[in-house]
Amino acid sequence: MKAGVTVPNITFHTRVRDESIEGPNPFRWQDMTSDDYFKGKRVVLFSLPGAFTPTCSTYQLPGYENGAADFAAEGIDEIYCMSVNDSFVMNAWARNQELENVKVIPDGAGEFTRLMGMLVDKSNIGFGARSWRYAAVINDGVVEAWFEEPGREDNHGEDPYGESAPETVLAWLKEAKEAVA
């Protein structure tokens, strides 16, 4: 993946809270498309190997959540976290992390991740097909900047983290803003 590439146009199957539904599970299915998430907006998308995993839950997701105001100051309209997990898992993780600023995108079947060229096999740790860790600045559906962790390969023995960290992406946004000014 690289700057200038349009993100794949797919449909994501999400579960959203619906107050008109009574009972202990007030959610309904709602399909969302790539256009719903990316068209007409400048966003940061970061993708990671799995909800509830250590690096993702301790550093990456909280970093983006806590830095949301800084990203907004640099012209970012939304911050999205994607994982090859279903909507039930992503919603539970969002509640667990008490998210207010970052929105989760479930790529349960890995279709978007595969079309982005980032689907890897992580069977060596019992995950199966998952996303390689990356982040991107996406402007109106087109990749503006790409941040991929080094060493992408199936069954990688480690989980590199740094290139897709919120601090790295925010530093790039500030540099890009200064270059234009």
- Does residue 81 have an active-site annotation? no
Q: Which residue has the tokens 């803003």?
A: 177
Provide the residue type at 53 as one letter: T
| Separation of alpha carbons 142 and 10, rounded Å | 14
| Separation of alpha carbons 145 and 138, rounded Å | 7
> Residues 7, 51, 56, 116: which is the catalytic one?
56
| Separation of alpha carbons 78 and 128, rounded Å | 29
| Separation of alpha carbons 168 and 87, rounded Å | 28
Residues that are catalytic: 56
